[in-house]
Chain A
Amino acid sequence: MTEKLVISSENEEFLAKISEMSGQVITMCDQCGTCSGSCPMVDEMDITPSQMMRMVQLGQSEVLDTNAMWYCASCFTCTVRCPRGLDLSKVAEALRQVPLRRAKDYIRINDIPKDELARLPQIALVAGMRKFTG
């Protein structure tokens, strides 16, 4: 069955929140798809970057349940190509910040064995802390 999309004022709040956090006028996106066609990580994503933008435009907080923003590597290919001059990597970062700000950790540094901790690059730890959050 096709699901109906209900758009209420809560949706407006979500759009306003992500717009403010990212500093991007997300309603400016005209859904041309340049970002999706340019994205090197799009094959890994369950929705395309342009779909991520669309869901934010309509204020669908369900976008947080997708993996698109977590796969964004901030390579900026979409940003340099966007005909409307939008910075999608900032939008993805804003979306990542929503669960991150709940400050709920699923991995604990203390649970990682000492020798592994010594081997792991610090950047991997930071990335891990960010990805397995919320």
Chain B
Amino acid sequence: MRIGVYVCHCGGNISEVVDVGEVASFAEQQSDVVLVRDYSHMCSEVGQKLILDDIRDNGLDRVVVAACSPQFHEKTFMSTVEKAGLSPYVLEIANIREQCAWPHFDLPDVATEKAKGLVAMSIVKARLDEALAKRTMPIGKRVLVVGGGIAGIQAALDLGDAGFKVYLVEKEPTIGGKMAKLSRTFPTEDCAACILSPKMADVPSNPNIELLTFTEIEDITGYLGNYEVAIVKKPRFVDPAKCTACNKCSEVCPVTVPDEYEEGLTSRKAIYLASPIAVPHSYILDYEACLGLFPLACERCSEACEPGAINYDQKAERETLTVDTIIVATGYDTFDARKKKVYGIGHSNNVITALDMERLIVHGAEGKPIRPMGRRIAFIQCVGSRDEQVGNEHCSRICCMYATKLSQLLKRSDPKRDVYVFYTDLRAYGKGFEEYYKRAQRTGVKFVRGRVAEVNGNSNGQKVTLKVEDTLTRQIIETEFDLVVLSVGLQPSEGSKRIAGILKLGESPDGFLQEAHPKFRPVDTLTDGVFICGCAQGPKDIPDTVAQASAASSRAIRLMNRGQYDIAPVIAFVHEDLCDGCGICVEHCPVGALLPSQIVSVNEAVCSGCGSCIASCPTGALDLHCYTNDQLLEQIRAALAGKREGEARILVFADDQTTYRLADNVGTSKLSYSPDIRIFRVPSGSRIPPRLMLEAFELGADGIFIGESEEKSSPYPHSVSAIKENVSLVREVLKERNIEPERVRYFEFVTVMLGAFVNQMNALAEFARTSGPIPDEDRKVLVEHLANRRHQEAV
């Protein structure tokens, strides 16, 4: 083994505090170190060339750079090492700027000693570095899009146009979703069907899109690049290839049932076209409504069908699709207004939903009004939104604007009408929304600030009375209307819940699907290769939905386009000689990456590299590349060396995303904390199993601190509970030997908690120091105690 160590001056940032010469000569004495240099700017081209030449000329096979935090130049030095023909993973960085020179700027001797310690830790880690190759997994170009509303249509078209194979699965007989039912869209008042139907027609004509309507998803298994999707194609009993949509079957059908597309306001036959703009434009036989297929009861439609498109013997077909990524666009359900009993929907014909009103307006515009509207019309806002009494605390975002739209369409089509909108707060937040609200006011729609308390039917059944406080004048209004429209809110669809169950997707407190990160990964989920868009993720209007659908398809393309994707080297692996196949770890893995067998195996495409499985293994067979058990143990030994008389040495295991960077920020701000702290960079605090903590105590640690990202922003949202469990177990063991359990601590940080970090560090250092040294005879038996506890539990 030939290790090269490079100590950076950082143009004085380091060398003005730390004696770099002393650090360099310390490094020279370490075994396997064949070359040590110190240089003013290691990150400069000249500095990098030093490393490059030394690897070639002196045959270095491991490189340690003592410089600034790895968050700044780890990538730089990795590519240097790679250029010289080595694995990029044989590079180690000792962070002697943010962790020595800056926080301990007032104690140069201490900073120098600590720097030596950090360099020693990096050298022992480098010695055990595996020369891992960069790895990739092959991936195809097949996408499943779940849901054929505007979100699913947009995602499918984007992907199809980009040359990806799309399976668009829709459970209804036609695509188009809720948008196909709307009259016009706010705030521009485009005719919804006119702008949507060309897009719908583009779907079947796109050669890359396979449209699967009237199809349900039964199950999805697998992982990124290899999802197996079990689907059921329900029987339509009409062959779309032969059906000419001539309507002759429907004319002769004797059965009449409410039309779902018309919100039940009109009726349809048992054999019918799902909507005038249905895609595929083919009739479908409603098995439930039909007089009977087995045995045949009527057969009139078949007799009327000239092309012979009707096949009564059609059966459900099961199929399995293999796809690489999945886009979930399962939309929303409208709030069931019957749950808000005080508004009387279902009891009075004069109380309808806003979606009913959309259909009434469409039919009115076509010159075929379904029912009279009357002269006085009221809209009630926030029905099923912002209401704890019905369990929906969220704002549905679109109701203010659709009521603004419907109310002014009604007023403009007949200015003699009195149109009122009763609202809680009017939210016109989007582009052109405020102007559109103003237009409604100019049209003469009256907006009254007050949530309607109750709606009562009148004895003659002709009108309804509504009771509300005008909260601006504090007067109670009790007045009659001909028609009351409930602006029903949006809630997670049944389809979303089903898919969330199948794919194990998270849900936010409002029940909508949870994105991986609310700011930076708004359409990703924590399941690799699964994306969400549209109202499945939360209530939103059409442009936001379309934007999100395009974002989701672009995120999917990002993974698939190269034909392969990189796998992070930090993944779990199994020491086969130690694994006895007990399988305890399998259920501990939060992402399901461990596969049970005689010897457990790791699905490398799924493993997220948190390392939390390691704690669950009773035989110590699990391990993590780049942060192996042996490496951590050697680093701990190095970190505990050179303890001064009376010093209490604290080991801090800092998660890479937050705590490690927080420590850097503390250093950058020149905030001091106890120099007895040694910080270890780990992917997650849950990587540190109880056994390793106790081994650290055996080796001489006086305190252990686990720092982790707060749960909601961690890339491993389960890790905090794992850490709690590990820490409490270690505390139990310490208690058995009368060692203060408070010597082990953990904390959930966010990167700006500079003061909290300093306080936590100093508090633990002070506690360990004042508690005094741990007697050697107690230290020696800690791991044994843990083993005994495990044994007793097993018995």
Chain A residues within 8 Å of B, Cβ to Cβ: 30-38, 42-43, 47-48, 50-51, 80-85
Contact = CB atoms under 8 A, between A and B. Distances in A.
A37 B453 contact: yes
Contacts of B453: 33-38, 81
Contact of B388 (A33, A48, A84): A84
A63 to B, nearest CB: 13
Given A32-B451, A33-B450, A51-B474, A85 B424 contact: no
Contacts of A36: 450, 453, 469, 471, 474, 476
Interface string B459-479: 000000001111100101000
Given A37-B469, A51-B474, A85 B454 contact: no
A93 to B, nearest CB: 21
A38 B454 contact: yes
Interface of B: 342, 382, 386-389, 424-425, 449-454, 467-471, 474, 476
Contacts of A34: 451-453, 469
Contacts of B424: 30, 32, 83
A80 B389 contact: yes
A16 B290 CA distance: 65
A50 B475 CA distance: 11
Contacts of B386: 30, 83
A81 B387 CA distance: 9
A44 to B, nearest CB: 12
Q: Is the interface of B mostly helix, strand, loop or mixed?
A: mixed
A36 B388 CA distance: 18
Contact of A47 (B388, B468, B474): B474
A48 B476 contact: yes
Contacts of B389: 80-83, 85
Nearest to A32: B451
Given A33-B469, A34-B451, A37-B450, 18 more contacts: A30-B425, A32-B451, A34-B453, A35-B453, A36-B469, A37-B453, A37-B467, A37-B469, A37-B476, A38-B453, A38-B467, A51-B474, A80-B389, A82-B389, A83-B386, A83-B451, A85-B388, A85-B389
Contacts of A80: 389
B211 to A, nearest CB: 42
Contacts of B471: 31-33, 36, 50
Contacts of A42: 476
Nearest to B390: A83
A84 B470 CA distance: 18
Contacts of A30: 386, 424-425
A42 B449 CA distance: 18
A82 B471 CA distance: 15
Taking each of A33, A48, A84, A85, which has the highest tally of chain B beta carbons within 10 Å of its own beta carbon? A33
Contacts of A33: 449-451, 453, 468-471
Contact of A37 (B382, B425, B449, B468): B468
A33 B388 CA distance: 15
Given A30-B424, A33-B450, A50 B469 contact: yes
A82 to B, nearest CB: 7
Nearest to A30: B424
B71 to A, nearest CB: 41
Which A-B residue pairs are the 4 nearest by beta carbons?
Answer: A37-B453, A33-B469, A36-B469, A32-B451
A134 to B, nearest CB: 25
B388 A83 contact: yes
Given A37-B469, A48-B469, A48-B474, A83 B452 contact: no
Contacts of A84: 388
Contacts of B452: 34, 37
Interface centre among A34, A43, A47, A48 (most CB of B within 10 A): A34
B380 to A, nearest CB: 11
A34 B387 CA distance: 11
B454 A83 contact: no
B474 A32 contact: no
16 contacts: A30-B386, A30-B424, A32-B424, A32-B450, A33-B451, A33-B470, A33-B471, A36-B453, A36-B476, A37-B453, A48-B469, A51-B474, A80-B389, A83-B386, A83-B387, A85-B388
Contacts of B451: 32-34, 37, 83
A35 B467 CA distance: 11
A67 to B, nearest CB: 15
A26 to B, nearest CB: 16
Contacts of A47: 474
A36 B476 CA distance: 7
Contacts of B425: 30
A16 B468 CA distance: 29
Contacts of B468: 33, 37
Contacts of B476: 36-37, 42-43, 48
A80 B389 CA distance: 7
Contacts of B454: 37-38
Nearest to B451: A32
A35 B660 CA distance: 52
A101 to B, nearest CB: 28
Nearest to B423: A32
Contacts of A85: 388-389
A40 to B, nearest CB: 11
Contact of A83 (B382, B469, B470, B474): B382
B400 to A, nearest CB: 14
B424 to A, nearest CB: 4
Contacts of B467: 37-38
Contacts of B470: 33
Contacts of B474: 36, 47-48, 50-51
A28 B58 CA distance: 71
Contacts of A82: 388-389
B145 to A, nearest CB: 36
Contacts of B450: 32-33, 36-37
A31 B451 CA distance: 9
Nearest to A42: B476
A32 B424 CA distance: 5
A34 B388 CA distance: 13
Contacts of A32: 382, 424, 450-451, 471
Contacts of B387: 83
Nearest to B467: A37
Contacts of A31: 471
Contacts of A81: 342, 389, 453
Nearest to A85: B388
Contacts of B382: 32, 83
B173 to A, nearest CB: 38
A34 to B, nearest CB: 5
A83 B385 CA distance: 9
Nearest to B425: A30
A16 to B, nearest CB: 24
A87 to B, nearest CB: 12
Contacts of A37: 450-454, 467-469, 476
Nearest to A80: B389
A32 B389 CA distance: 14
A106 B469 CA distance: 35
B102 to A, nearest CB: 43
Contacts of A35: 453
A22 to B, nearest CB: 17
Nearest to A37: B453
Contacts of A50: 469, 471, 474
Nearest to A43: B476
A76 to B, nearest CB: 12
A107 to B, nearest CB: 32
B268 to A, nearest CB: 37
Nearest to A28: B388
A47 B452 CA distance: 18
A98 B474 CA distance: 25
